[in-house]
Structure 1
Amino acid sequence: MVETKGHAPPLPSMSIHNDQAIRLRAEVPVELGGQRLDQVAAQLFAEHSRSRLAAWIKDGRLTVDGAALRPRDIVHGGALLELDAEQQAQGEWIAQAIELDIVHEDEQILVLNKPAGLVVHPAAGHADGTLLNALLHHVPGLVNVPRAGIVHRLDKDTTGLMVVAKTLQAQTRLVEQLQKRSVSRIYEAIVVGVITAGATIDAPIGRHGQQRQRMAVVEGGKPAVSHYRVLERFRAHTHARIKLETGRTHQIRVHMAHVGYSLVGDPVYGGRFRIPPAASPTLVQALREFPRQALHARFLELDHPASGERLKWEAPLPDDFVWLLTLLRQDNEAFV
C-alpha cells in the first residue's frame, strides 16, 4: 500500500454514467503545484494506475484547464484537471467459481474472511485460482475496477478480513483512508518466545539485500509501524495482538522476527524451532507441523465509502489456530 507524507490531496469529484464511462475533475492543490502532470494525476486520481493515466494524458483524455499537455509538463496549483475516458477491462483474468466467506456486502463494498491457502492476486506461479478470480465470478462488474477492487492484501497463508471496493468511487475513498491510516486492521498471532510486555515497532521495511523474494528491516526502506501487545503467555510461546499503522509487504512477519518473536509456522521468516521442555507428543507434533504462519486478520474497522458510517467487523479465529492455542493452554496447565 502506498503511504503519503503531509496532507492528502483532496478527493476528486466523480460521476460515472455507466460501467465504462469515467468523468473526473480535480483542482490541483497548492502543495502539488510545480510537479509533472503525470505525478499530480497519480495523486489526485489514485484509483487508476500510473500507466493508464499516462496513456490518457497522451490521448488527450486527461486535460489541464481544457488543454492537452504531455505527461512531463509542469502543472501549477489551482489548475483544473479533467478526465473524460472509458474504463477498460483491467487484465486477461478469468472469472472462477471459488467459494467466498462473505461477512458483509452492499453496493459499494464487500468484506470477506479469507481462508489459508488462497492467493489474493494472480502472479507468477498463480495464474488463476486466486481471490481476484473468485471476485470476478461473484461480481462480474469488477473487471472494470482496477485490481478488481482489491485495495489491500493478505499473504497466501494468512487468514482473516479483507475489504474489496465494488466501484471506482468506493476504491478511491478506501485508498484515501488507507493513506490517512484511518483504516484499523488488527491481527492475532502465535509467536515463538515469551513476550514480557507490548511495544511499538517503528522500523523501515524494504527488499532483502541478497534474497529478493524476502523483505527485511533495512535502512532507507519504506516507513513501517506495528503495535503489539500480549493476550496470553505460554511456556515458550505467546498469543499476541498486533495493530498495523502501515501496510508493507509481510510487515507483521518481518517486524516480529526483527524483535525476536517470529511467527509459529512461518516458512520464510521463522526463527529457531522451539518446544517447551517435556511437552506432550501432541503439542510437539502440532508445533512442528503447523502448516502456515500463525497469523489471522481478526478485526477490520473503516468508514463506509458512501455513507461515512464507521463500521467494524470481527472474524473468529480459524480452527487450526484455535487447536494450537488449546494445546498450548493444556501444556501451561500441566506444568503449573
Structure 2
Amino acid sequence: MSSENRITARFVVPPELSDRRLDQAVAELMPEHSRSRLQTWIKEGALIVNGQKRKPRDKVMMDDVIELEAEPEVQVSWEAQDIELDLVYEDEHLLVINKPAGLVVHPAAGHAAGTLVNAVLNYAPEVENLPRAGIVHRLDKDTSGIMVVARSLIAHTSLVDQLQTRTMGREYDAVVVGTLTGGATVDAPIGRHPRERKKMAVVSSGKPAVTHYRLVERFAAHTHIRCKLESGRTHQIRVHMAHVKHPLVGDPLYGGRMRLPKGTTESLREVLAGFQRQALHARQLTLEHPETGEILTWEVPLPDDMEHLMEALRQHRRELESHDF
C-alpha cells in the first residue's frame, strides 16, 4: 500500500489526560478507532510516544507527543448492500446523509447487516480502506437526521480533528416532557450506568459533557427545544435532559413511564403512545471542508413522525386555550 494511504496522526497529550494509561489516553484522543485496534498498534510499535515504543499500560504525561503511522484496517467481513441512501451532499471527500430513524449506523452484534455502513460500502466502495468505513460520528438507531461520512483519508483525518477540537457544529431538535421557560446549559459528566450496563448516566467518574439548549415552542405539557453539543458522549442529549427531569418524548431507555398531561384527548393519547422512539432529530451540521477549507452548513427538515407529534401537541394546546374563554 502506498504511503499516502497510511493512517497518520499526531497528538500532544492535554493536561486532562496526564498520568493516564497510554491505551486509555489514545482511546480518548482517537475514538474513531476500536480499543483493540489501538492496543494492537501500540504493541506493534505503529503508535509511539516521544519517538519511543511503549506498552499499553505505560502512563503518559502532559505534553508527551503521540504519533501514529499504520496501515488502514480493511473490514472484509462487512458486506456492501444495496440500501437506499438519502444523500444531502457528496463529493470525492464527503458523503452527507439524512439518516432515517430505525437505521443502525455501524455493524455490531445482532446487526451485522442492514446498517448505514453496509449501504455506504455499496455506494462508495473506497471507504473500506478507511477506519470504520469512514464513520467518524454516530447517531443512535432511533435518532433521525444529518451525519457526515468520510470518503477519503484526507477527509477522515480532518473530520476527526474537527470533532476533537469541537469545531464541527451539530444542532438537534428534540421534544421533551414538561414545559420549559427558557434555554439553559447542562454541564454534567456522562459515563456507564453503575447498574444497568445498556444505559449511560450522569456520574462523577464520567467524561465531561456539555449540552446547550434553547426553547423553540412550548406546548401545554411538552416543549420543542434545540440542542447544541460541546461534546459527543453516547446518548448525551437523552441523558442530560432526563437528568434535568425533562426526558425526551418516547425515549425507551431514559423516558420512564409515559406521563399524560391534564386534559389529554384520546387523539393525543394515541399519538404519544404510538411514538415509539426518542423524539430527537439531528437538524443541522456545520464543518470545514477537508480540502478547500470552506465552511459548509446543511440542514434537513423534521421527519414526518416528529411533525405529526408536534401538530398533535399544538392541537391539544389550542383546545385547552379555547376552554379558558
TM-score range, shorter chain: 0.7 to 0.9
Q: CA deviation at 1:37?
A: 8.1
Mean Cα deviation higher: 126-135 or 310-319:
126-135
Residue 285 of structure 1 pairs with residue 285 of structure 2: no
Q: Quote the Cα distance in structure 2 between the aligned partners of 1:28 and 1:277.
A: 55
Counterpart selection for 2:261 from 269, 273, 276:
276
Specify whether residues 55 and 157 from structure 1 end up closer, same or farther in structure 2 by C-alpha distance, changes over 3 A only.
Answer: closer
Q: Quote the Cα distance in structure 1 between the aligned partners of 2:174 and 2:71.
A: 43
Q: Quote the Cα distance in structure 2 between the aligned partners of 1:251 and 1:296.
A: 13
Q: CA deviation at 1:271?
A: 3.1
8 Å CA contact 1:115–1:159 kept in 2: the answer is yes
Q: Structure 2: which amino acid aligns with 1:262? A: P
Give the SS at the match of 1:243.
strand
Q: CA deviation at 1:53?
A: 5.5
Residue 22 of structure 1 pairs with residue 2 of structure 2: no
8 Å CA contact 1:16–1:23 kept in 2: the answer is no
Mean Cα deviation higher: 35-44 or 226-235:
35-44
Q: CA deviation at 1:60?
A: 6.1
Specify whether residues 330 and 16 from structure 1 end up closer, same or farther in structure 2 by C-alpha distance, changes over 3 A only.
Answer: farther
Q: Counterpart of 1:111?
A: 96
Q: Quote the Cα distance in structure 2 between the aligned partners of 1:209 and 1:39.
A: 20
Counterpart selection for 1:215 from 200, 209, 215:
200
Give the SS at the match of 1:335.
helix
Q: Counterpart of 2:118?
A: 133
8 Å CA contact 2:29–2:164 kept in 1: the answer is no
Mean Cα deviation higher: 323-332 or 85-94:
85-94
Q: Counterpart of 1:144?
A: 129
Q: CA deviation at 1:48?
A: 5.4
Q: CA deviation at 1:272?
A: 4.0
Q: CA deviation at 1:276?
A: 2.9
Q: Summarize the alignment of residues 23-172 of structure 1 with structure 2, pairs less than 5 Å apart.
A: 24=8, 51-52=36-37, 55=40, 69=53, 71=55, 83=69, 86-172=71-157
Q: Which runs of 4+ in 1 moved over 4 A?
A: 15-18, 23-65, 67-82
Give the SS at the match of 2:161.
helix
TM score, norm. by length of structure 1: 0.83
Unaligned 5+ runs, structure 2: none
Q: CA deviation at 1:125?
A: 1.6
Q: Quote the Cα distance in structure 2 between the aligned partners of 1:248 and 1:75.
A: 23
Q: CA deviation at 1:103?
A: 0.1
8 Å CA contact 1:37–1:71 kept in 2: the answer is yes
Give the SS at the match of 2:240.
helix
Unaligned 5+ runs, structure 1: 1-14
Q: Summarize the alignment of residues 177-196 of structure 1 with structure 2, pairs less than 5 Å apart.
A: 177-196=162-181
Specify whether residues 207 and 53 from structure 1 end up closer, same or farther in structure 2 by C-alpha distance, changes over 3 A only.
Answer: closer
Deviation per residue, 1:177-198 (Å, 9 max, x gap): 1111111111011111001111
State, as a whole percentage, how many aligned pairs show the same letter. 58
TM score, norm. by length of structure 2: 0.85
Q: For this pair of structures, how many residues does the alignment match?
A: 318
Specify whether residues 255 and 79 from structure 1 end up closer, same or farther in structure 2 by C-alpha distance, changes over 3 A only.
Answer: closer
